[in-house]
Structure 1
Amino acid sequence: MDIQLLLALVLGIAVIIVLVLRTRLDAFVALLIACLVTGVVSGQQLTGIVDSITTGFGNTLGSIGIVIGLGVAIGKILEVSGAADSLARAFLRAFGKGREEWAMGSVGSLVSIPVFCDSGYVIMNPLARSIARVKRGGYVALALALGCGMTLTHHLVPPTPGPLAATGILGADLGLVIVTGLVFTIILLPVVIAYARWVGPTLEDRVIPEVREAVYGTLATVGVGSTGGGSGSGGGGPTDAPASTDGDEMSDVATYNPSDYLGEPPAGQSHRHVGAFVGSLPLAIPLVLIVLNTVTAAIDRDQQGALSGDYDPSSWTVPFAFLGNPVVALVIGAILAVYVLLPRWTPRNKVQGWFADAAASAGLILLITGAGGAFGQVLRDSGVGDALAEAIAATALPVFLVPFAIATVVRIAQGSGTVAMITAASVTAPLVTNLGIDPVVAVLACTSGSMVFSYFNDSYFWVVTRFTGLEGTAALKGWSGITTAVWAGSIPLLFVLNLVMG
């Protein structure tokens, strides 16, 4: 590989890492500066660098910007309407007594598809605390299972912004990425549960007193409940922990108060409870429409014998293609969220305020995503991507592991999984065509690599460990360990996926 182009690539990635870690600039500005540095060092014309940045930024947001905004808006309505809470309760009832970690991991996986990890964990953590209080132990295992369940879908399943951005940058089929990400999640969830059940009991006595008191209502030593054996330092549990008197584990669980979000209803009306089935519609229907679009297109391709290359859709697939377009599907989801989940008396200005809050939270993600697309365009136009492809083709390293390795390094260096997968996708984009990497495999490699070793430079690390009450080495053993376990578990899955998709 030409030393100048290699230097351009290395300096571009180094600029992102150093600026995010060592300066007050955020990832958006860091990515744009990296574009400039990469273009200049590679020898690209100065005016051409700016053209590449604007072209890449516009093309990327043109395809996925609307989808990100709509996905965040739906998540906000699920939060304020109580639908997320209802889904959590339904999962707990479905899994039953003794399988609480499975329930919490599954709840986390579901909720984190439309809701950001940080806010989703804050919403759902009281549920874990209430269950631990009823069980009289096992809080750490429940908290870790919840948090890492959220990590799985947050990293693997669109319309979460990170994998959605990687999908757009790499040009992968969104429906296939959703299906594959869900398969990865289902396979990796047992890893989450096994690690949480193994390490949780050993850390139960490391929970700081303030959190222990908030969870169990006392500073007395608490056992590990139904999580199995372990090193809980006491066996009897707190004397004032409430016990379930009617056999219903959910009797003491209360996580959502509609008045906190919706305000008090008008005279003569009352808050209505959003059931789990109804609450799932704004999320499930768009996902089903997107997947149906992928399935019908695949069937049509097979019937036409056009499994690769140009494809002219048949007339019968047009309705599926329209309704299954991510923009149309999520518009339907947003309408369902507002008119099915929220009570009729909810003021228009309040709903619009929630959408404004969602737009504000999505704004930086949109900018980072667009800047990631700009970085990828600069790599392509400067020739760095072609040179990197040629260099990798001459090595024995499986090419589909390149985005995995890049995402891993960037995640450890700067902490943000979203930035890591967008950076890896941007760097990898030129390789997808040149080296024949399947775009879906490349996306999953980027997203899987970005799950590694969440620690001090990751904001979600602090959310989980503070709510769980773990500090120092206990926090690293619990949270950093469980995220690294699912990262390692994804490696053999990538090999299998590459064999299937290759």
Structure 2
Amino acid sequence: MDLQLLAALVLGIATIIVIVLRTRLDAFVALLIASLVTGFVAGAPATDILDSITAGFGSTLGSIGIVIGLGVGLGKILEVSGAANALARAFVRAFGKGREPWAMGTTGAVVSIPVFCDSGYVIMNPLARSIARVKRAGYVTLALALGCGMTLTHHLVPPTPGPLGVAGILDAELGALVLAGLTFAIALLPVVVGYARWIGPKLESEVSDEVREAVYGPGAARTATVTAGSAPGSAGAPADLAKTDEEPADDLAPEHDPAAALGTPPPGEKPHRMSPGLAVLPLLVPLLLIVANTVATAIDQDRQGAVGSDDYEPSALPKALAFIGSPVVALLIGIVLAVYVLLPRWTTRSQVGGWLSEAAASAGLIILITGAGGALGQVLRDTGVGDELAEAISSWNLPGVLVPFLIATLVRVAQGSGTVAMITAASVTAPLVDGLGISALLAALACCAGSMVFSYFNDSYFWVVTRFTGLDGIAAIRGWSGITTAVWLGSLPLLLIASTFL
């Protein structure tokens, strides 16, 4: 490989890591500076580098920017309406007594599809505490299962912003990525529950006194350690928690009440109540429309014998589904459903506008980072770095799918953000897809899966989970860093299996 082009790639990635870790600048600025560094080191003229940056930024956001904004807005309405909490309680009832870790993991996976996992965890954690209080044990197990269930879909399933950005950069079919990401998440959920059940009881004694008392009640911090194996009425558990057959208490503090933002109903209006059936509609309908579009097009192409053909002309039904099942229209339908089905009649226009503005603010940086990732990818293409790297890698005895997986892994460990890791990996991989002999869909899955590895001190979500769980130091690493690494390892054989038919 041309050493100059190799140096351009290495210095570009190193620039991202150093800026994110050692300066006051954020990932958006880091990716743009890395694009300039890569272009200059590769020997491209300054004007050509700027043209590549603007072209890559614009083309990426043209395909995915609207979708990220709509997805985040939908998640905000699910949060403030109490729909996310209603879904969580429905899962707890559905799984039944003794299977609470499965309920928590599944709840986390579903809620985190549209809701950022940081805020989603804050919303759902009181339910985990409520269940642990009634059972008198097992809080760490429930908290870890909830948090890592959220990690799965946050990293693997659109319309979470990271996977959406990866799909846009790699030009992967969105409906296919939804199906594949959901398949991976379902396959990895037993890893989440198994690790949480194994490590949870070992760490229960490590929970801080403050959190232990908040979970198990006054006096719990001064009693013997509460363990997952404590029996009703046994020593080591608060005496007022002897009942174990109750429903999880509805004890959300006002500051953690997901529907507190709705306010008090005016005179004559009934209090707001959310049913699970209504709660799931704004999330389920867009996903079904996107998947139906993908499936109908694939079946129609196969029927016409036009798979992969540029001359394919869709039939009437696939053409209609191509419109309503496009991500933009599907998520527009979802957000309209959320506003008019989930929110009570007394909700004002200004309230809804305020919530959507908050969502837009949180989505803004993600959109900019995604666009900057597209800019870096375009620079890699136009300077020839991508072609050179693909030629070099093709001579290695390494499965092509491992390249984006390992790039995402290294960037995640170095700088902490899963979103930045997967978008950086997608940007570097985009020019390599053909040379690696893998599909855009498989490359997208590899970028997303590789970014799940070893969440620790440089990841903001690490602090959210460990502080709410009451773990610190080595206990936090054994619990949270361990469980995220377990699902990362579990995704590797899934990727190798997927590479045989995707």
TM over 0.5: yes
For residues 472 and 241 of structure 1, what CA distance do their matches in structure 2 show?
Answer: 31
Q: How does 1:42-57 map to 2 (within 5 A)?
A: 42-57=42-57
Partner of 1:308 in structure 2? 308
Give the CA deviation at 1:259.
6.2
For residues 159 and 177 of structure 2, what CA distance do their matches in structure 1 show?
Answer: 10
Relative distance call for 1:144 and 1:258 in structure 2 (3 A) is closer
Q: What secondary structure, in the 3-state scheme, does the structure 2 residue paired with 1:195 have?
A: helix
For residues 414 and 272 of structure 1, what CA distance do their matches in structure 2 show?
Answer: 42
Relative distance call for 1:287 and 1:259 in structure 2 (3 A) is closer
Alignment of 1:442 with 2:443, yes or no, is: yes
Indicate the larger mover: 34-43 or 216-225.
Answer: 216-225
Aligned-partner residue type, residue 236 of structure 1:
A
Give the CA deviation at 1:433.
2.6
Check conservation: 1:114, 1:159, Cα contact below 8 A. yes
Give the CA deviation at 1:305.
1.1
Partner of 1:431 in structure 2? 432
For residues 37 and 426 of structure 2, what CA distance do their matches in structure 1 show?
Answer: 18
Indicate the larger mover: 72-81 or 252-261.
Answer: 252-261
For residues 86 and 279 of structure 2, what CA distance do their matches in structure 1 show?
Answer: 7
Relative distance call for 1:283 and 1:17 in structure 2 (3 A) is same
Check conservation: 1:77, 1:337, Cα contact below 8 A. yes
Give the CA deviation at 1:432.
1.3
For residues 244 and 357 of structure 1, what CA distance do their matches in structure 2 show?
Answer: 41
Q: How does 1:345-356 map to 2 (within 5 A)?
A: 345-356=346-357
Q: How does 1:272-283 map to 2 (within 5 A)?
A: 272-283=272-283
For residues 278 and 270 of structure 2, what CA distance do their matches in structure 1 show?
Answer: 18
Q: TM-score normalised to the size of structure 1?
A: 0.96
Alignment of 1:250 with 2:253, yes or no, is: no
Deviations 1:452-494 (A, max 9, x none): 0000000000000000000000000000000000000000000
Relative distance call for 1:257 and 1:121 in structure 2 (3 A) is closer
Give the CA deviation at 1:399.
1.1
* Structure 1 segments of 4+ aligned residues over 6 angstroms from their partners: none
Check conservation: 1:136, 1:237, Cα contact below 8 A. no
Alignment of 1:236 with 2:235, yes or no, is: yes
For residues 456 and 292 of structure 2, what CA distance do their matches in structure 1 show?
Answer: 38
Partner of 1:81 in structure 2? 81
Check conservation: 1:133, 1:241, Cα contact below 8 A. no
Check conservation: 2:127, 2:248, Cα contact below 8 A. no
For residues 363 and 411 of structure 2, what CA distance do their matches in structure 1 show?
Answer: 22
Indicate the larger mover: 198-207 or 313-322.
Answer: 313-322
Check conservation: 1:136, 1:241, Cα contact below 8 A. no
Partner of 2:365 in structure 1? 364
For residues 100 and 259 of structure 1, what CA distance do their matches in structure 2 show?
Answer: 23
Give the CA deviation at 1:4.
0.4
Give the CA deviation at 1:360.
0.3
Check conservation: 2:81, 2:259, Cα contact below 8 A. no
Give the CA deviation at 1:252.
5.0
For residues 158 and 495 of structure 2, what CA distance do their matches in structure 1 show?
Answer: 18
Aligned-partner residue type, residue 144 of structure 1:
L
Relative distance call for 1:33 and 1:258 in structure 2 (3 A) is closer
Deviations 1:248-303 (A, max 9, x none): 32245547747621111111112221100100000000000000000000001101
Alignment of 1:466 with 2:467, yes or no, is: yes
Deviations 1:28-65 (A, max 9, x none): 00000000000000011110100100110011111010
Check conservation: 1:431, 1:437, Cα contact below 8 A. no
Indicate the larger mover: 383-392 or 262-271.
Answer: 262-271
Unaligned runs of 5+ in 2: none
Aligned-partner residue type, residue 299 of structure 2:
I
Alignment of 1:289 with 2:296, yes or no, is: no
Relative distance call for 1:429 and 1:110 in structure 2 (3 A) is same
Deviations 1:44-87 (A, max 9, x none): 11101001001100111110100000000010000110100100
Give the CA deviation at 1:235.
5.3
Check conservation: 1:222, 1:235, Cα contact below 8 A. no
Indicate the larger mover: 50-59 or 248-257.
Answer: 248-257
For residues 27 and 258 of structure 1, what CA distance do their matches in structure 2 show?
Answer: 30
Q: How does 1:25-174 map to 2 (within 5 A)?
A: 25-174=25-174
Check conservation: 2:130, 2:249, Cα contact below 8 A. no
Give the CA deviation at 1:238.
2.7
Q: What secondary structure, in the 3-state scheme, does the structure 2 residue paired with 1:54 have?
A: helix
Aligned-partner residue type, residue 442 of structure 1:
A
Check conservation: 1:296, 1:320, Cα contact below 8 A. yes
Partner of 1:318 in structure 2? 319
Q: What secondary structure, in the 3-state scheme, does the structure 2 residue paired with 1:331 have?
A: helix
Check conservation: 2:108, 2:146, Cα contact below 8 A. yes
Deviations 1:329-385 (A, max 9, x none): 000000000000001111110110000000000000000000000000000001000
For residues 449 and 174 of structure 1, what CA distance do their matches in structure 2 show?
Answer: 19
RMSD: 1.5
Q: What secondary structure, in the 3-state scheme, does the structure 1 residue paired with 2:501 have?
A: helix
Partner of 1:5 in structure 2? 5
For residues 216 and 430 of structure 2, what CA distance do their matches in structure 1 show?
Answer: 50
Relative distance call for 1:131 and 1:55 in structure 2 (3 A) is same
Check conservation: 1:54, 1:374, Cα contact below 8 A. yes
For residues 440 and 3 of structure 2, what CA distance do their matches in structure 1 show?
Answer: 28
Relative distance call for 1:258 and 1:456 in structure 2 (3 A) is closer
Deviations 1:70-128 (A, max 9, x none): 00001000011010010000000000000000000000000000000100000000110
Q: What secondary structure, in the 3-state scheme, does the structure 2 residue paired with 1:31 have?
A: helix
For residues 463 and 373 of structure 2, what CA distance do their matches in structure 1 show?
Answer: 26
For residues 270 and 222 of structure 1, what CA distance do their matches in structure 2 show?
Answer: 44
Aligned-partner residue type, residue 248 of structure 1:
E
Give the CA deviation at 1:244.
4.1
Partner of 2:199 in structure 1? 199
Partner of 2:386 in structure 1? 385
Unaligned runs of 5+ in 1: none
For residues 129 and 53 of structure 1, what CA distance do their matches in structure 2 show?
Answer: 48
Alignment of 1:266 with 2:266, yes or no, is: yes
Aligned-partner residue type, residue 362 of structure 1:
A
For residues 225 and 125 of structure 2, what CA distance do their matches in structure 1 show?
Answer: 19
For residues 73 and 394 of structure 1, what CA distance do their matches in structure 2 show?
Answer: 45
1:223 is aligned, of 226, 232, 252, to: 226
Indicate the larger mover: 350-359 or 311-320.
Answer: 311-320
For residues 239 and 274 of structure 1, what CA distance do their matches in structure 2 show?
Answer: 33
Q: What secondary structure, in the 3-state scheme, does the structure 1 residue paired with 2:179 have?
A: helix
Q: How does 1:334-349 map to 2 (within 5 A)?
A: 334-349=335-350
Q: What secondary structure, in the 3-state scheme, does the structure 1 residue paired with 2:499 have?
A: helix
